[in-house]
Amino acid sequence: MVSRGNRLASPGVPATAGGGSAVAASELAKGVNARDPGTALALAEEVLGRALRIGATEAEVLVMAGDSALTRFANSEIHQNVVERSMTVNLRYVVGKRIAVVSTGKVDTDGLRSLVNRAAAIARSCEELDDWAGLPVPDGAAPADVAAWSDGTAEATPEFRAEGVRAVIAAADAAGVGAFGSFSTDAEAVAVANSAGIRAAENRTSAQLLTVHMSPDGGTGYAEGVSMDATTIDAAAIGREAAAKARASDRAVAIEPGDYSVVLEEYAVVDITDMLGYLGFSALAVQEGRSFVEPGRRIGSDLVTITDDGADRHGLPMGFDYEGVPKERVPLVDAGICREVVYDSQTAARAGRRSTGHGLPAPNPYGPFPLNAVVSAGSTSRDALIGGLDRGLLVTRFHYTNVVHPKLAIVTGMTRDGTFLVERGEIVGPVRNLRFTQSYLDALAGVSAVSDSRKTIRGFLGAAVVPALRIDGWTFTGVTEF
Amino acid sequence: MRDLTDRALDTAAQFGATYADVRVVRRRDESISVKSGRVEGVALGETDGFGVRVLVGGAWGFAASDTLDLAEADRVGALAVRVAKASATALRRPVELDGRAPATGTFETPFVEDPFKIPLETKISDLVEADRAAGRVKGVAFTESVYTGHREWKTFAATDGSFTEQVLTQVGSAVESNAIEGDEHQRRSYPDAGGGYQAAGYEYIRSLDLAGHAEQNAEEAVALISAPQLPPGRRTLVLDPSMLYLQLHESCGHPTELDRVFGTEASYAGTSFLTPDKLEAGFQYGSELVTIVADATAAGGLGTFGWDDEGVEAQAVPLIQNGRFVGYQSSRETAPRVGSRSSGGMRADGWNRIPLIRMTNVNMLPVPGMTLDDIVADTDDGLYLANNRSWSIDDRRLNFQFATEVAYEIKGGKKGRLFKNATYTGITYEFWRSCDAVGDERSFVMLGTPNCGKGEPSQTARVGHAVSGARFRNVQVGVGKW
């Protein structure tokens, strides 16, 4: 069941900090939980009040609290099963242009008092940051009313996750293969209060079920489901998808590396959005001269449109970033043309504009990041994607990708869990996994078809909504033994 | 502390656990980041909490909390049992642990200068001096320098009477220069990309002499912009310790982890080509010069401790002996399945994560006879590769590809001109079999990485690698299209 959850956000909340008592703050901390962002915000305000009272000229408090659980299975049995409750209070303490960041998981009276005192001491020791532009200020816009919370996820029990795992295993058993994967559920409250008047709080949930099915005849297959609402994940269907893929990839044969056209399934496509987000779609990357992005530059075919949208209901929504700034919908690539990049408050100040709401928790040397990439769907059915390959490869997933050349966005990695040769539009059979060394920019330029359906896939920081892609020209540079 | 550990264990036992252990972990992390001569961030993080791991009916359960009181010990102990009972609903092979005497005692990693007592102003000043020295070199686009201090207090107790207390102190630092021109972005780092790390005090940071190396390093970054692209071909490689340690990490450390062999990491990090039949057969992993150990007793390593996170005493375990595969890194659960006892490799990323088999210090032993300089002098035609820039390996750890920041041509036993964008690739056992020279103790140095990723939920481990440099013949270089 999906519900709106609870949200408190600027404007409309007085820009006054709490009383600043560590005792009061620790009492509040006892009541903080994933369901109650209001208490998390009250805690943030108390800590903020104390920071201002002892001498901060500016301060920002980020509270993240919640419950995380993960049930892990291998060889068709559960072998790890963990639950965790935790809270982090992150304080950015500013004196003039001297900035310190201290975080703690100790939220008793001593812990919170120590948090503020340590931050004050560190700030006094720091050099001034000459272009410090101040903490973000509320600009009147409230965060989008995103649906980020599901009771179904928040109430997920170990028994619920085990039931899902058993459904995955049953699908594996039916196909005579083994199941290896995990089912996780997370619920958290996030609250931000700063001395400039930012007040933002919401609660968020997410769930992910993934599995690799492994056949005794050598085949492997992957499937994944990601949702804000764990109850909407169809475990049996995920199990069947992976099982079918595993059986289909039995007895793979080696082919020569070289240039092939490819169809990348969504599980592989998410790596492209992740990598390009890291390498180029950040304002910091642009400001440091290490990004490939230039407004108006064509980097993809007309079929490629990428947006960052924290409100997209198909993804894992979030209304504001870790500085409490409402998330804007940012067009990154429009019909193949670079448009904008994402900003946090510091990169925005340098550029003389406002933040787009893409800040990560301070301190953040990596700069802003698009956590909610959305690639527009196309008009080609999945069958037609493959049907359009004269000779090429269908790739399920990538493994262990890494950047070889940042400005050219050259990435290397392996295929994994289902790689198939396609000839004259038909899958001929499974092939051994291949290594690629490929510019992801050239890949976008080579997109010749985009699927009409999409999946939500978890990336290395956020989650992306992506279609499958057909790409003309992909450079495979090696082959492995399986 | 003992009250809490006793209470958690008693509660778990009362609810039906046949075995339980509890870890109480407190961590303090301090970091300083400097970018282009400016202090961008000074951060201090503190976290503490406890995790309870239980066996019920041969199934694992784990629960954790950041609230250290007896009532929470009761809740978490009982919850861990409930989680284990859920695990038991999908169980095929009940867990059996190897026997060991109860672990008792205390352990601390030694240091001369307590990094947390060195004035923050001193640490900032040292780092800024190095960063600015790099930044003064003409042509440098931006510089980045980091310092981190890490301390972990760990208490371990188990229902078998074990009770240990440990304090681990580690530090690391690096200076990095970046040069950018057009689409070219070149980087040089010292002593290693991401930093040199040791279990030590601030004396290790002083010994690195960052400021003394920064200028030359920066000059190389600039020189690389106009250096020729490394052409493809098969070449003789001499790997500097700054590259060799990561080769060791990826292609020997990970595939000898026994949990990977048994599939429990299959869905994430992958499995291993080093299956138990290869152990029985004494598989030829490398040349006779290749001897590799996992040594948790090595001085200064990030994987140095007194006991692992299930109370097994630190030890040195041979993995590769004169080229032959002779042993795994293992746990109390996995070791009996190959007829051995735990190698003491179970480590958890803090209080809220379950222990996994992780590398300790996986070291390649030096070979008497030649220094690294002697090896260069002994090489007529080859490449000297230093400082990793990119890494990737398939999910069974066979096909790898690495990129380095710099390649020096070796002609007639002398290092000469630079090449940029150096890459090399191969198959693990073919590569190690091609090793025909290993440096002696004079270049044997302890390096390591603080961010080895594994597991779900994601865990990062701090692992050490001591290496002396080595030579490899007939290796494919210059991968991809440039």
* Tens-place pLDDT, residues B111-163: 999 999 999 999 999 999 999 999 999 999 999 999 999 999 999 999 999 99
User: Which one-letter DSSP state was computed for residue B253?
Assistant: I
pLDDT tens-digit series, residues A83-108: 888 899 999 999 999 999 999 988 88
pLDDT tens-digit series, residues A177-204: 999 999 999 999 999 999 999 999 999 9
pLDDT in the model for residue A366: 86
Residue A14 pLDDT > 50, yes or no?
no
Handedness of CA A153, A159, A161, A164 (dihedral sign): negative
Nearest Cα residue to B150 out of B193, B194, B116: B116
Fold type of domain B2-225 = PmbA/TldD fold (3.30.2290)
Is the bond preceding residue A363 a cis peptide, omega within 30 degrees? yes
For the record, the structure tokens of B374 come out as 């002697």
Q: For chain B, positions 264-283, list CB contacts with chain A under 8 A.
A: 264-268, 270, 273
What are the extents of the domains in chain B? 2-225, 233-477
Q: Which chain B residues contact residue A366 at CB under 8 A?
A: none
Contact with chain B for residue A255, Cβ under 8 A: no
Residue B310 pLDDT > 90, yes or no?
yes
CB pairs < 8 Å spanning A and B: 276
Alpha-carbon span B237 to B88, nearest angstrom: 51
Choose among A158, A401, A405: nearest Cβ to B421: A405
Question: So what CATH class is A2-210?
Answer: alpha beta
pLDDT in the model for residue A141: 74
pLDDT in the model for residue B48: 92
Burial class (CB in 10 A: 0-12, 13-18, 19+), A114: middle
Choose among B93, B185, B389: nearest Cβ to A407: B185
pLDDT in the model for residue A17: 64
Residue B12 pLDDT > 50, yes or no?
yes
| Binary contact (A125, B41; C-beta < 8 A) | no
| Binary contact (B144, A82; C-beta < 8 A) | no
Is the bond preceding residue A11 a cis peptide, omega within 30 degrees? yes
For the record, the structure tokens of B393 come out as 């390996």
pLDDT tens-digit series, residues A116-135: 999 999 999 888 988 899 99
Q: For chain B, positions 182-201, list CB contacts with chain A under 8 A.
A: 183-185
Residue A283 pLDDT > 90, yes or no?
yes
Residue A5's pLDDT band (cuts 50, 70, 90): very low
Residue A9 pLDDT > 80, yes or no?
no
For the record, the structure tokens of A163 come out as 């039931």
pLDDT tens-digit series, residues A313-352: 999 999 999 999 999 999 999 999 999 999 999 999 999 9
pLDDT tens-digit series, residues A399-451: 999 999 999 999 999 999 999 999 999 999 999 999 999 999 999 999 999 99
| Binary contact (A480, B398; C-beta < 8 A) | yes
What are the extents of the domains in chain A? 2-210, 252-482
Show the beta-strand stretches assigned E in A406-446.
410-423, 426-430, 434-439
Contact with chain B for residue A433, Cβ under 8 A: yes
Residue A173 pLDDT > 60, yes or no?
yes
| Binary contact (A182, B267; C-beta < 8 A) | yes
| Binary contact (A127, B38; C-beta < 8 A) | yes
pLDDT in the model for residue B481: 86
CA distance to partner chain B, nearest, from residue A380 (Å): 30
Amino acid letter, B186: Q
| Binary contact (A178, B263; C-beta < 8 A) | yes
| Binary contact (B480, A410; C-beta < 8 A) | yes
- Is A412:B392 a contact under the CB 8 Å cutoff? yes
- Per the prediction, chain A carries an average pLDDT of 93
Choose among B33, B479, B480: nearest Cβ to A365: B33
Please name the residue of chain B whose CA is at the shortest distance from the CA of residue A185: B457
| Binary contact (B185, A406; C-beta < 8 A) | yes
pLDDT tens-digit series, residues B324-358: 999 999 999 999 999 999 999 999 999 999 999 99
Contact with chain A for residue B395, Cβ under 8 A: yes
Residue A33's pLDDT band (cuts 50, 70, 90): confident
pLDDT tens-digit series, residues B260-297: 999 999 999 999 999 999 999 999 999 999 999 999 99
Residue A12 pLDDT > 70, yes or no?
no
- Is A200:A9 a contact under the CB 8 Å cutoff? yes
Q: Which chain B residues contact residue A72 at CB under 8 A?
A: 264, 456
Tell me the CB-side half-sphere exposure of residue B435, using CA atoms within 13 A: 28
Please name the residue of chain A whose CA is at the shortest distance from the CA of residue B122: A125
| Binary contact (A402, B395; C-beta < 8 A) | no
Average pLDDT rounded to a whole number, residues A59-82: 95
- Is A219:A246 a contact under the CB 8 Å cutoff? yes
CA distance to partner chain B, nearest, from residue A79 (Å): 6
Q: Which chain B residues contact residue A399 at CB under 8 A?
A: 270, 394-395
Angle between helix axes A109-125 and B120-135 (nearest 10 degrees) is 40
| Binary contact (B42, A406; C-beta < 8 A) | no
pLDDT in the model for residue A6: 52
Q: Which chain B residues contact residue A87 at CB under 8 A?
A: 66
Cα pseudo-dihedral A236, A237, A242, A245, rounded to 10? 140
Residue A24's pLDDT band (cuts 50, 70, 90): confident
